[in-house]
Every structure is written in C-alpha cells, then in structure tokens.
Structure 1
Amino acid sequence: MKTDRQLKDDITSELRWEPSVNAEQIGVEVKDGVVTLAGQTDSYAEKWNAEQAAQRVSGVRALAVTMDVKLAGPHRRSDSEIAASAAGALQWKTYWANDTVKVVVENGWLILAGEVEWEYQRQEAANALRYLTGVKGISNNIVIKTKVTVGSVKSDIEAAMKRRAIADAATIRVEVHGADVTLSGTVKSWPERELARYSAWSTAGVQNVVNNIVVSY
C-alpha cells in the first residue's frame, strides 16, 4: 500500500508525463488516499486530461478537483461563437445528436440537454465538445430513455462484470430500483471500480448509476 507521499509523487510524475497537461500549474494534495487537484489550466480539455491522468495512478481512492480554467486572450470566445461551434461539432462528430441533444452556453459553460438511448451516446456528445476553443466546462444533463424492461438488469450487469474479468466481481453488490443502479462493495484498484461503473452503464435500460464501490488496497 502506498503512503500519501508516494501517491503524491506518482500523480505528480503522471501529470508531468501527460503531454496535454502543464503540470507546473497544478498542485497535488493527498490525505488517506484522497487526492485533491488544485491550481489552474489553460483549457477545459487540459483540466479533464489532468483528472484522467490522476485516476490512472494506482492507489487513488477518491479524487476532488478544484482547478480553475483560465482562458488566454486567443482562446476567449463569445457564447454565441461557442454555441455555433458546438452545433457544428455535434453534427459532424455524431450521427444521432442533431435533433436529440440541445446545447445552452452560459459564460463559456456548456449545458447539454435532451434524450438518447444509450450511455455511450451521452458520453459521445460531451466528447465531441470537450476540445472546443473557449469552453470552460460541461454539464451533461442528457438523460437516457428506457426502451426495455429492467427486470434482468441486475443479472446482465453481474454477467458483464464477469465477462470483463473484474477480479473482485464477487465482492461487488448490485442493487436495481427501476432504471437506477447502485453499486457497492470493494475492489483493489481504481480501474476496476471504473470498469464496474462502465459495465453498469453499458446495460440497456439503465438511466442512473450511483457508484459507492470503495477502493481497498
């Protein structure tokens, strides 16, 4: 098990290794395996990439992000310019979002709304917009429509976790209430925790996933 100091050093090294991140602008604090990223980034994409880099490091139990996005002059755009770019990006980068996803821009922050059938479509919409110039953040409020019965959702999720070779699948509890899924239990790594969450989201009919799985090293 890593000490907080070892974990901080590993995360700092991972941030420096990530080419899309300026690690000198990001502060890292660790307490009992809970990581806090502070400081500022030059774009929302850089902030998101820093979060992903931290989560890749073994030993991270939870992640808090207090970084601010500070746009330099050439990267500042009006809300109307960002909205036009967002509409174009959804049209070119997704084949289903034209009539189902709407974008509102407020001071550089994108708010996504609408309905889709699958979680991958919800994430694809955000991915299409994350690297647009001028974006400070994204609130993904797109909801998933239920088109199938959810009586078999629990067994489907458990089977998916076993297929994907999650070593701690037997220690993960799956509770289903309507279209909402709650995961609990323990796993030995952050990637396994994320894989369990992904398995739940990949199941037809799921509209919401609460991931209470604890990483125990």
Structure 2
Amino acid sequence: MIAPHLLIIPATAETMADADITMAIKRLFTNQKGLNEHLLDVATHEGLVTLTGFTDNLLARQRAEDIALAVRGVRGVASTVAVRTPARPDADLQRDVCGALADDPATGDYQVQGTAAGGVVTLTGMVQSWAEKQLVLRVVQGVRGVTSLLTEDLAIQKGEIVNSDEEITIQIQELLDWDVRVNSALVQVCTTESVVHLSGTVGTATERDHVVAIAYQTGAAHVDARDLSVVYWALSSELRRGKFALRADEAIVEAVRGVLHRNPRGRCSETLVQAHEGVVTLAGTVSNLRARQEAEHDARLVVGVTEVHNLLKVRPRHLVPDAAIRQAILAALARDPYVGHFYFTVSMSNGQATVHGQVDHAFERERVGDVAAGASGVLAVANLVAEPAEARPEALARPGSPDPDSDYALAGRIRERHFWSASLHDQDIAVQVSHGRATLTGTVDSWPERQQATIEAYEAGAHDVSNHLLVLAPAGPGQQGTHPPAHLLTNAHR
C-alpha cells in the first residue's frame, strides 16, 4: 500500500451505506485467518474507511488494509493500526532481519542493512528502483517481531539517464493501457518536474492503488492522486469491455517482456516469451522458484493474455547444497509471524524440498508453501503440511455433526464475500459446497477476478476449491462493449 495520505480522495456518489460498509468489513475480518478482529475497529464516513486498533505483525496490518480497500463502496482507507507483538531482544531481531534479506534470492545481492531497536527496524543503503525498495519492505515486514520500519535512509540510486516528464507520462499511460486491472481510458496523467499528477476516475480503491504504484515504477519522484476519484459507475463491466479487445501477438510479447523486466525478482533471468492468439508461453531459465511463480502471475495481468504456459526452469546462479537450502527454509519458517510458532521438518533431494508439519488453518498451510518457495536454491516445494482433522469443514458436515448446515453456511459466506467484493459483485459466479469443498462455475471478466474468487472461497472457510470459472475471451473487432459468444470463452488454470 502507498502512504495513507494518498488514499483519501474527494467525495463521489456511491450507493453503499456507510453502516453497511463498516459491518461488511467487520464480518470479513471475523472470517479472515491471520487477523484478530477483536483488536481492530472500523469506521466509515462517506465511503472513507478508518481502521484503528492493533495487530500482532506488520503483514496482518497490511492484510487488514487490503481487505478494506477491496470492499465494494470503499473510496479510500486511512489506517492508524499499531503493531503489538511480544518483545524480542534487539540482537535477535536484527539477526533475523539481516538473515531474511540475505536469504532472499533477490535482496541478497542488495546493499541494504537493517538495525533493530525496540521492534523498530531502520533500513539503510541503496537500491536501484522503487520496485526494489518495495521488495525490501515486503521481505522485512515478514519477520516476526518487527513493529515498524524507518526507510528515510534507504535511497533509490539515480542513474545517469533520467526520464523526462514527457517520457514518464508516456510510460505511465502505456503501462496503464496494458494492465488488465486498470481501466486506463478513464485516467489522465500529467508530469511536472518528475511529480506525477493523476486525475479521472477508477472503480475501486484497490484499482486506484494499482495506478499509483504503476506511476512510481516509472521513476516518479512523487505521485499526486488527489484528483483520481473512486466512483461507482466506473465498475461497469460493459464500460470496461473495450479494455479486453484482442491485441496483436507481437505487442503482447513486448508487453509481457516489459512486465517481467520490471519485477526485481526476474531481471537477471533468461526468459523467452512467445504468444499465439493470446496464449503466452514462458520458457528459459530463472534463478529462483519465487521468480518462476511471479513471472506467470505477472504475465496473466497483461491485456490480451488468455492463457499462460509456464515452462520456465529454475537454475540458481550458484550451486546451493541441500543442507544449506534446508537450513534456510527452516530459518525462514521460524522468522515468519504467521507460522513461526509451529514445528516443521524439511527434507531435501537435489534441490526439491518436502515440508511436513501441522498447522491450524488452510491459510497457514499456504503460507508455509509460500515461505519455503522463497529460499535461495530451492527448485520445487512439496507442501505436505496438514491441518487438524477436526478443524476441516468436511468433518463438521458428517452425519451427527453439531452443525449439519455447515455446507449451506459456507456457501452463504462465500456468496456474501462475492457480494461485497468490488471486483466480483457483478460477475456471473455460481457457488456450490459439498463436505467443505467449494465448486465455482460461471464466467468472469479476467484472470484476476478468477483468482480472487478462489481466494475468497478459501478465506470464507472452504477446505478445497474447484474453480471452473471461465474467463471471457478478448472481444474481436466489432465486439467491443459486448460479451463474446460462449464458444470464445477460455478457461485459465486454477
């Protein structure tokens, strides 16, 4: 998230009542694993949400802010949520911060240092871009015991070639045009002395955050988004249909290459990008497993991409012994604020890690896989971490269960989350639940909505999700503004 002051925007017409928005966010917090809703307070005024209270780690605070931003009717979020976590000795916390930066395949090469005092970490050093700085912040936020970050002395190195105001404006407009999450036709960009001024309209507060982040990626010194308003009518699927018009394969290839290059995890990769009728194939090598995962994710966010075949091979720049990888994974899991209190075992075979253990929720199980994938040298991760049988939804659905309507209640929670989701509320999604397993059918406009539907089902409590949602294929000439025929629908991977 960008600085909180950038999230406050002018009043616009909206149909959702403030009280309903507040209640929806509170209910989402209640069902959200990794958050203690009893410690968070929510208030809404004219669509502007204020979050106060406490979380026990920085990732949970970010999680709460992101949830609120994505709620239908929310025009902005201001957060003063504080982090309260058991105190750790400064030396231990500083060791973990330095270890997290050193063990990450990308930040391990950065000239960045961290010092800890009373839970506050001060970052110093130099990075090459705004994206690299954001990556450093994400890595450090994932260390158990960090309560806040000071980044004034973490500088972005200015190259010999500095983009002119006109070049910054053009780059931002091009990036917005190729980003499937943004309706660029409604956004205006103006740059003066490297300060970018954004105006126009977006449909959600989350979309507004995406626009601001894209502006910073181009080298903007500051982004003024006070005149970029969140308005209800900008959510219209019909209004956005032209965004998904067919693009030439050659142009798609160039756009995907640009996206991969801007991700600091993949800049040293040797990636071959091909496209045929919107189907993108990624081949070549990347230096780490996280880069492979993020390359596919980033490619799916490019306009005109209907499917991604990920054939990338993980080839670490330096040979890392299995014993060192195992130790790095165990250390990363121990540092993590979500799963650091659980016990895990890790076995290695030729760079492939298998993780065993037991956690309380599916959210924590997924977190284990994500953390393990970030270790240097790991080629693949088999996540065999289990949840307690009595905690699984299907256990509650057996005959004689104290809650025989658990499947019905789960389906209702999923539909409620879809209703309040700014990106999913008008999508054609049907939900069925059997023994805690959710099946999603219907259509969505793009891959991000398809992915979000799966996330919402898991967050509502589903033990497993079968996502059969079809992504509407790009409209061809003469079809802009209309839904394409059924035979043009595509089905993306889960």
TM-score range, shorter chain: 0.7 to 0.9
Q: Measure the CA separation in 2 of the matches of 1:97 and 1:174.
A: 35
Which residue in the other structure is 1:125 paired with? 136
Q: Please say if 1:153 is aligned against 2:164.
A: no
What are the ranges of 5 or more consecutive residues in structure 2 without an aligned counterpart?
1-14, 233-494
Q: Tell me, which stretches of 5 or more residues in structure 1 are unaligned?
A: none
2:34 is matched with which residue?
A: 20
| 1:8-157 matched pairs, under 5 angstroms | 8-72=22-86, 76-141=87-152, 142-147=154-159, 148-151=161-164, 152-157=167-172
In structure 1, distance between residues paired with 2:199 and 2:67: 24
Tell me which stretches of 4 or more aligned residues in structure 1 moved more than 6 Å.
none
> CA 1:109–1:15 in structure 2 vs 1: closer, same or farther (change >3 Å)?
same
Take 1:166 and 1:134, find their aligned partners in 2: how far apart are those partners? 34
Aligned-residue Cα RMSD (Å) equals: 2.1
Partners of 1:150 and 1:178 within 8 A in 2:
no
Q: Which has the larger radius of gyration?
A: 2
User: 1:202 pairs with 201, 217, 221, which one?
Assistant: 217
SS of the equivalent of 2:115 reads strand
Query: Whole-Å Cα distance in 1 between the matches of residues 231 and 148 of structure 2?
Result: 31
TM-superposed CA distance for 1:21, in Å, is 0.6
**Counterpart contact for 2:182–2:210, Cα < 8 Å:** no
- 8 Å Cα contact 2:70-2:204 kept in structure 1: no
Report 1 or 2 for greater relative contact order, CA contacts < 8 Å, sequence distance ≥ 6: 1
Q: 1:118: how far off?
A: 2.1
1:96, CA displacement in angstroms? 4.2
Query: Closer, same or farther in 2 for the Cα pair 1:200/1:102, shift >3 Å?
Result: same
Cα distance in 2 for partners of 1:96, 1:166 equals: 27
Normalised TM-score (structure 1): 0.87
User: What's the counterpart of residue 18 of structure 2?
Assistant: 4
Change (3 A) 1:167 1:208: closer
Q: Distance in 2 between matches of 1:98 and 1:168?
A: 36
The reply on whether 1:173 has 2:188 as its aligned counterpart is yes
Structure 2 Cα separation of the partners of residues 97 and 181 of structure 1: 31
Q: In 2, are the aligned partners of 1:154 and 1:175 still within 8 Å (CA)?
A: yes
Deviation at 1:37, TM superposition (A): 1.1
